[in-house]
Amino acid sequence: MPRIQAGDIELFYESTGEGVPFILQAHHHISWMPYQIPYFSQYYNVITFDRRGTGRSDSPTGPWSIADFAADVRKLMDALEIEQAIVGGASLGGVISCQFGLDYPDRALALIVGHTVPYLWPLASDWIDEQVATIERGERPIVMQPRSYEWEAEGPPTANPAFADSPAGRYAATLNQAGGGGAEAGVYMIQALGNWDIRSRYDELNALDVPALVIVGGHEPQKTVEYSYEWHQEFKHSDFVIMPDSYHGAAREQPVEWNAAVHSFLQRNGL
């Protein structure tokens, strides 16, 4: 995995395949390696990397913003001499994809906005605070998703409960996805999500001449499903897909279906 200077930080990245550049990003590059890269590299030049604060990439002093993460994508493209690319991701990666499209519309061929929301509802904001506290206690964050309603005892699980005991889940557990920045980097990431709210830029989304796919799992929080549909309606050119019987981790838990939804969208848009 090569190291490259992307502006003021150094990033580790993978690149394989030929054709139109397709950048998949969110957290650690390994998330995409077994599930998306073998498939999409048959059709595209697929690039993934360790986001700042994860894996072997730099972890600069925080706090960070979603705009910082989107700028990292653009700086990586500059370093690799890529003028335009499909930019996609899930969870934080979906948020970054939207930010990238708004901040650098001339650099985006298409956007994959997966498994996230355009802004947080009150219970989701409380969830952000809980995740920060979880990291500070040295525990694993984001095991459960936020509640949609006060009457819910807890939100749905982030991963399909059956995935861990499946052959693919047991294999995924052997992959080292440890972050390089430690707890502090994890807090910066969660706090950046907590500050995310794209509503002030809806007018720009209405005018953005870049095709977008908004994709969500049917077993994600009800508010995630509702808000992602609102998001889809604000894009000038957008498709909306709900993956049935899928959770927040659909890209790795149901990669055949996820890859098919993304690839068919790209093909429909001539990519």
The 10s digit of each residue's pLDDT in 48-73 is: 999 999 989 999 988 999 999 999 99
Q: What is the CATH number of the domain that holds 70?
A: 3.40.50.1820
Helices (H) and strands (E) counted in the chain, each on its own, are 10, 8
Q: What pLDDT is attached to residue 170?
A: 94
The 10s digit of each residue's pLDDT in 86-143 is: 999 999 999 999 999 999 999 999 999 999 999 999 999 999 999 999 999 999 899 9
Q: What pLDDT is attached to residue 175?
A: 87
- What does the angle CA 170 – CA 142 – CA 220 come to, to the nearest 5 degrees? 85
- Domain membership of residue 81 as a residue range: 3-268
198, pLDDT greater than 90: yes
The 10s digit of each residue's pLDDT in 139-172 is: 989 999 999 999 999 999 999 999 999 998 999 8
- Domain total of the chain: 1
Q: What pLDDT is attached to residue 178?
A: 65
What's the chain's average pLDDT? 95
Q: What pLDDT is attached to residue 242?
A: 98
179, pLDDT greater than 70: no
Q: What is the C-alpha separation between 22 and 256, in angstroms, rounded?
A: 18
In percent, the amount of the chain with pLDDT more than 90 equals 91
Structure tokens at 46: 């697929």
Q: What is the C-alpha separation between 260 and 271, in angstroms, rounded?
A: 14
Q: Which residue has the higher pLDDT, 62 or 269?
A: 269
pTM: 0.97
